């Protein structure tokens, strides 16, 4: 059953949903990357909640004009208008008042969402509103999705991606360093509004599939997931788009295998699964990689302390230290140093004395700042500098060849 869903063999409607969800996921991942890099992820929450009054108003207007209140284009147009109004209110509050951005977001989000709920309640009292099904815009609904709906989502996603391709450089610059962008003559406020407008566009076209509440997750989870795998912004954008597209495709396929499962939440949970896997398995930023680095650092500390103890004739009581020394061939099972161990221990003790001289000499201030108890002094100083330090501390000189 799942294989049929992945191969788009479960019927026309399931295929439309899968294609629409994939395109929406790509657009959301790419768009959300700039929001994430700009550290304004919560703005998407305000934008999404601002769409609800537009849905209600559009329905009322279309019914009053004698049309079909459930026309998707009209509903999306209405949600876009109120979402843009919410963006303008948010921008005005943050620029013209002393409200912090998070407080302004909370105010806009709660007021617009409250107005939307009131309008939905009013619509339910209307003769034409009882079967409107507008509540599905909260969490999304793909049941009975039509070809024109999929085309609207595909066209909206394609236009959003095209605009991002055109504006990628200025948006990236503003996201990383708005002060430098302003110094370069870029209109930071306008670029911010454009960025928010793209978020609004993705939010509006995603209402049908994931709804205004869950679209926030689809905007944020893919770029956060991609950030675990790379430090380059262009690769984050690419990986976020791929992650969002895969979450949409797999989520829609999983939902199609069990008709009772809602598509929007399954897509979000699929995206979270990618996030959780990246959190654990990413090679540089993942939890397992961090744990391995910590264990390697711990072994180096034990090995270093064991060598210093052997050099000074002190007993070694730590089992882990003894085990590491034996494994490295530096000590016998009874804890007595081997020939290689004695040589390494003498070198470690002499390096420690060298570091003491370096840390007490202002001429080596830059090198002293690199001391961590584990770094080889040969990676910091030249052979001539080490030879000079050896002359100062006396004893046999060991200048690396």
Domain ranges of the chain: 2-280, 288-393
The set of residues, in sequence order, having a beta carbon less than 8 Å from that of 210 and lying 6+ positions away, is 24, 139, 140, 217, 218, 263, 264, 267, 268
Q: State the average pLDDT over residues 211-234.
A: 89
Name the least confident of 3-12, 207-216, 240-249, 307-316.
3-12
Write out pLDDT tens, residues 59-118. 888 888 887 777 778 888 888 899 899 988 988 898 888 888 888 888 898 999 899 889
Give CA–CA dist 116/83, Å, rounded.
12
The answer to whether residue 238 scores a pLDDT higher than 90 is yes
pLDDT of residue 401: 44
Average pLDDT of every residue of the chain: 85
Question: Are 303 and 328 within 8 A, CB to CB?
Answer: yes
Name the least confident of 45-54, 102-111, 119-128, 284-293.
119-128
Confidence of residue 284 (pLDDT cuts 50, 70, 90): confident
Which CATH number does 2-280 carry? Answer: 1.10.3470.10
Confidence of residue 399 (pLDDT cuts 50, 70, 90): very low
The answer to whether residue 131 scores a pLDDT higher than 60 is no
The answer to whether residue 286 scores a pLDDT higher than 50 is yes
Q: Shortest CA distance to 242 belongs to which of 37, 26, 35?
A: 26
Confidence of residue 332 (pLDDT cuts 50, 70, 90): confident
Give Dmax (Cα) for the chain.
101
Helix, strand or coil, per DSSP, at residue 330: coil
pLDDT of residue 4: 65
Give CA–CA dist 154/161, Å, rounded.
11
Give CA–CA dist 249/255, Å, rounded.
10
Write out pLDDT tens, residues 142-190. 655 667 777 777 788 888 888 888 888 999 898 888 888 888 888 888 8
Q: State the average pLDDT over residues 126-140.
A: 64
For 377, the token pair is: 């002094």
Q: Shortest CA distance to 274 belongs to which of 233, 231, 235, 217?
A: 217
Confidence of residue 130 (pLDDT cuts 50, 70, 90): low
Helix, strand or coil, per DSSP, at residue 337: strand
The answer to whether residue 200 scores a pLDDT higher than 60 is yes
Q: State the average pLDDT over residues 314-341.
A: 87
Element (H, E) at 394: none
Give CA–CA dist 42/199, Å, rounded.
11
């Amino acid at each position: 059953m799942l294989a049929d869903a992945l191969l788009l063999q479960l019927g026309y409607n399931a295929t439309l949903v899968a294609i629409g969800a994939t395109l929406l996921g790509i657009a959301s991942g790419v768009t959300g990357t700039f929001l994430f890099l700009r550290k304004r992820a919560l703005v998407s929450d305000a934008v999404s909640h601002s769409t609800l009054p537009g849905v209600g108003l559009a329905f009322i207007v279309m019914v009053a004009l004698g049309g079909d209140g459930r026309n998707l284009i009209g509903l999306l147009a209405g949600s876009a208008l109120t979402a843009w109004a919410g963006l303008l209110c948010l921008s005005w509050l943050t620029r013209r008042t002393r409200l912090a951005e998070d407080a302004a977001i909370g105010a806009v989000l709660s007021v617009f969402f409250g107005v939307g709920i009131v309008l939905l309640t009013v619509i339910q009292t209307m003769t034409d509103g009882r079967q409107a099904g507008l509540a599905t815009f909260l969490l999304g609904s793909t049941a009975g999705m039509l070809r024109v709906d999929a085309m609207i989502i595909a066209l909206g996603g394609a236009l959003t991606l095209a605009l991002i391709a055109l504006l990628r450089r200025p948006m990236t610059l503003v996201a990383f360093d708005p002060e430098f962008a302003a110094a370069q003559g870029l209109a930071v406020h306008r670029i911010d509004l454009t960025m928010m407008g793209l978020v609004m566009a993705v939010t509006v076209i995603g209402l049908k599939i994931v709804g205004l509440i869950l679209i926030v997750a689809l905007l944020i989870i893919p770029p956060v997931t991609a950030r675990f795998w790379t430090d380059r912004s262009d690769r984050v954008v690419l990986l976020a788009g791929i992650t969002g597209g895969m979450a949409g495709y797999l989520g829609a396929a999983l939902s199609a295998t069990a008709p009772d499962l809602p598509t929007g939440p399954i897509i979000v949970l699929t995206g979270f699964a990618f996030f959780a896997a990246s959190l654990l398995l990413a090679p540089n930023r993942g939890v397992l990689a961090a744990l391995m680095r910590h264990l390697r650092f711990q072994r180096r500390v034990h090995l270093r302390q064991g060598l210093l103890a052997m050099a000074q004739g002190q007993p070694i009581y730590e089992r882990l230290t003894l085990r590491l020394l034996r494994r490295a061939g530096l000590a016998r099972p009874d804890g007595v140093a081997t020939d290689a161990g004695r040589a390494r221990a003498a070198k470690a003790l002499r390096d420690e004395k060298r570091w003491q001289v370096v840390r007490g000499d202002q001429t080596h201030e830059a090198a002293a700042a690199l001391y961590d108890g584990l770094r080889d002094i040969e990676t910091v100083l030249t052979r001539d500098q080490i030879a000079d330090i050896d002359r100062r501390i006396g004893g046999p000189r060991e200048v690396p060849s």
